[in-house]
Amino acid sequence: MAETFFAHLSRLRRQYGQKLLRFAGVSMVNVLTGQTLLVVCFDYFKWPGIFANAVAVAAGSIPSYLLSRHFVWERNKGGHKVVSEIVPFWGLAFVGLVLSTIFVGIADNYSDHIFAMQAGNAAAFALLWMVRFAVLEHLLWGNKSDEELVGSSS
Protein backbone atom coordinates (compact mmCIF):
# COMPACT_ATOMS: atom_id res chain seq x y z
CA MET A 1 0.00 0.00 0.00
CA ALA A 2 1.28 3.48 -0.85
CA GLU A 3 2.57 5.63 1.97
CA THR A 4 0.01 8.22 3.03
CA PHE A 5 0.84 11.90 2.74
CA PHE A 6 0.99 12.36 6.52
CA ALA A 7 3.10 9.25 7.00
CA HIS A 8 5.47 10.59 4.37
CA LEU A 9 5.67 13.97 6.15
CA SER A 10 6.28 12.23 9.45
CA ARG A 11 9.11 10.17 7.95
CA LEU A 12 10.69 13.28 6.42
CA ARG A 13 10.44 15.12 9.76
CA ARG A 14 12.19 12.24 11.55
CA GLN A 15 14.85 11.97 8.87
CA TYR A 16 15.58 15.68 8.30
CA GLY A 17 13.87 17.60 11.12
CA GLN A 18 16.90 18.56 13.23
CA LYS A 19 19.03 19.26 10.18
CA LEU A 20 16.32 21.47 8.66
CA LEU A 21 16.08 23.42 11.92
CA ARG A 22 19.86 23.96 11.98
CA PHE A 23 19.76 24.92 8.28
CA ALA A 24 16.98 27.41 9.05
CA GLY A 25 19.15 28.89 11.81
CA VAL A 26 22.10 29.25 9.44
CA SER A 27 19.75 30.77 6.89
CA MET A 28 18.63 33.35 9.45
CA VAL A 29 22.27 34.33 10.06
CA ASN A 30 22.71 34.56 6.29
CA VAL A 31 19.57 36.69 5.93
CA LEU A 32 20.64 39.05 8.73
CA THR A 33 24.15 39.37 7.28
CA GLY A 34 22.95 39.83 3.71
CA GLN A 35 20.13 42.22 4.55
CA THR A 36 22.39 44.33 6.76
CA LEU A 37 25.00 44.57 4.01
CA LEU A 38 22.29 45.35 1.46
CA VAL A 39 21.00 48.23 3.60
CA VAL A 40 24.50 49.59 4.22
CA CYS A 41 25.54 49.37 0.57
CA PHE A 42 22.26 50.67 -0.88
CA ASP A 43 21.12 53.22 1.71
CA TYR A 44 24.40 54.39 3.23
CA PHE A 45 26.88 54.09 0.34
CA LYS A 46 24.14 54.83 -2.26
CA TRP A 47 25.30 52.04 -4.54
CA PRO A 48 22.90 50.85 -7.26
CA GLY A 49 20.63 48.03 -6.07
CA ILE A 50 22.21 45.40 -8.31
CA PHE A 51 25.78 46.14 -7.13
CA ALA A 52 24.72 46.40 -3.48
CA ASN A 53 22.98 43.04 -3.81
CA ALA A 54 26.06 41.40 -5.38
CA VAL A 55 28.27 42.55 -2.50
CA ALA A 56 25.70 41.45 0.09
CA VAL A 57 25.29 37.98 -1.44
CA ALA A 58 29.03 37.39 -1.93
CA ALA A 59 30.00 38.51 1.58
CA GLY A 60 27.03 36.71 3.18
CA SER A 61 27.97 33.44 1.50
CA ILE A 62 31.19 33.10 3.50
CA PRO A 63 29.57 32.60 6.94
CA SER A 64 26.80 30.60 5.26
CA TYR A 65 29.32 28.09 3.88
CA LEU A 66 31.23 27.76 7.14
CA LEU A 67 28.12 27.42 9.30
CA SER A 68 26.44 24.99 6.89
CA ARG A 69 29.49 22.78 6.72
CA HIS A 70 30.26 22.73 10.44
CA PHE A 71 26.94 23.30 12.23
CA VAL A 72 24.32 21.78 9.91
CA TRP A 73 26.20 18.86 8.35
CA GLU A 74 28.82 18.56 11.12
CA ARG A 75 31.75 18.21 8.70
CA ASN A 76 34.53 19.15 11.11
CA LYS A 77 37.26 16.76 9.94
CA GLY A 78 39.50 17.31 6.97
CA GLY A 79 40.13 20.43 4.98
CA HIS A 80 37.77 22.34 2.78
CA LYS A 81 37.73 20.63 -0.60
CA VAL A 82 37.75 23.11 -3.46
CA VAL A 83 36.25 20.91 -6.19
CA SER A 84 33.84 18.80 -4.14
CA GLU A 85 32.63 21.41 -1.58
CA ILE A 86 33.56 25.02 -2.24
CA VAL A 87 32.84 25.15 -5.98
CA PRO A 88 29.36 23.55 -5.69
CA PHE A 89 28.49 25.72 -2.67
CA TRP A 90 29.55 28.90 -4.46
CA GLY A 91 27.70 27.66 -7.54
CA LEU A 92 24.53 27.65 -5.47
CA ALA A 93 25.45 31.08 -4.12
CA PHE A 94 25.90 32.26 -7.71
CA VAL A 95 22.43 30.95 -8.65
CA GLY A 96 21.10 32.89 -5.64
CA LEU A 97 23.03 35.95 -6.76
CA VAL A 98 21.62 35.78 -10.29
CA LEU A 99 18.06 35.18 -9.09
CA SER A 100 18.22 37.85 -6.39
CA THR A 101 19.89 40.32 -8.76
CA ILE A 102 17.02 39.88 -11.21
CA PHE A 103 14.49 40.41 -8.40
CA VAL A 104 16.42 43.39 -6.97
CA GLY A 105 16.85 44.88 -10.46
CA ILE A 106 13.10 44.69 -11.00
CA ALA A 107 12.48 46.26 -7.59
CA ASP A 108 15.09 48.98 -8.28
CA ASN A 109 13.27 49.91 -11.49
CA TYR A 110 10.00 50.50 -9.64
CA SER A 111 11.17 51.89 -6.33
CA ASP A 112 14.14 53.57 -4.74
CA HIS A 113 13.12 52.39 -1.28
CA ILE A 114 15.36 49.97 0.58
CA PHE A 115 12.41 47.76 1.53
CA ALA A 116 11.81 47.01 -2.15
CA MET A 117 15.44 45.90 -2.52
CA GLN A 118 15.22 43.76 0.61
CA ALA A 119 11.95 42.17 -0.52
CA GLY A 120 13.46 41.27 -3.90
CA ASN A 121 16.53 39.76 -2.29
CA ALA A 122 14.54 37.82 0.32
CA ALA A 123 12.01 36.51 -2.21
CA ALA A 124 14.75 35.10 -4.42
CA PHE A 125 16.46 33.29 -1.56
CA ALA A 126 13.17 32.01 -0.19
CA LEU A 127 12.53 30.36 -3.57
CA LEU A 128 15.99 28.82 -3.53
CA TRP A 129 16.01 27.68 0.12
CA MET A 130 14.71 24.10 -0.28
CA VAL A 131 16.71 23.54 -3.46
CA ARG A 132 19.89 24.52 -1.58
CA PHE A 133 19.06 22.17 1.29
CA ALA A 134 18.40 19.27 -1.09
CA VAL A 135 21.63 19.83 -3.03
CA LEU A 136 23.73 20.21 0.12
CA GLU A 137 22.10 17.15 1.72
CA HIS A 138 22.09 14.80 -1.25
CA LEU A 139 25.08 15.88 -3.32
CA LEU A 140 27.57 17.58 -1.00
CA TRP A 141 27.58 16.55 2.65
CA GLY A 142 24.51 14.63 3.76
CA ASN A 143 25.15 11.17 2.41
CA LYS A 144 28.92 11.10 2.79
CA SER A 145 30.98 9.98 5.75
CA ASP A 146 33.93 12.06 6.94
CA GLU A 147 36.25 9.44 5.44
CA GLU A 148 34.62 9.80 2.01
CA LEU A 149 34.95 13.58 2.23
CA VAL A 150 38.61 13.45 3.28
CA GLY A 151 39.37 11.18 0.33
CA SER A 152 37.43 13.27 -2.21
CA SER A 153 39.12 15.55 -4.69
CA SER A 154 40.48 18.87 -3.53
Domain ranges within the chain, ordered by starting residue: 23-143
**Stated pTM of the model:** 0.75
The answer to whether residue 145 scores a pLDDT higher than 60 is: no
Rounded mean pLDDT, 45-65: 92
DSSP 45: S
Nearest to 117 by CA among 101, 129, 128: 101
Q: What pLDDT does residue 139 have?
A: 86
Helix pair 49-67, 87-110: axis angle to 10 deg: 150
Q: What pLDDT does residue 79 have?
A: 86
Q: What pLDDT does residue 81 have?
A: 86
The answer to whether residue 24 scores a pLDDT higher than 60 is: yes
User: Residue 111 is which amino acid?
Assistant: S
User: What is the rounded average pLDDT for all residues in the chain?
Assistant: 86
Confidence of residue 25 (pLDDT cuts 50, 70, 90): very high
Distance between CA atoms of residues 23 and 125, nearest Å: 13
Rounded mean pLDDT, 8-33: 87
Q: What pLDDT does residue 154 have?
A: 45
